[in-house]
Amino acid sequence: MTISKTREILYQIARLLGDVSAITSGSPKKMAKRAGRRTAGKVTGRAMRKLFK
């Protein structure tokens, strides 16, 4: 297993733990905010990738 693959797995686990933390906090607003921010981040990342490609 390469270092980049290990890093990718660790980031996925961290993202999952963040989701679990938001859900267990008991506030639906936190999960909604998190989902919105993740979606906005993905859209922004894709736009930047296209812009600088």
Structure token pair of residue 36: 């919105």
Q: State which residues form the domain around 45.
A: 3-51
Nearest-angstrom CA–CA distance, 21 and 15: 10
15-36 pLDDT per residue, tens: 899 888 888 887 888 888 888 9
Domain count along the chain: 1
- Cβ 23 vs Cβ 31: under 8 Å: yes
pTM over 0.95: no
pLDDT, residue 51, reads 93
- Nearest CA among 31, 11, 37 for reference residue 19: 31
Q: Which residue has the higher pLDDT, 32 or 47?
A: 47
Nearest-angstrom CA–CA distance, 53 and 37: 24
Residue 36 is which amino acid?
Answer: G
- Cβ 38 vs Cβ 47: under 8 Å: no
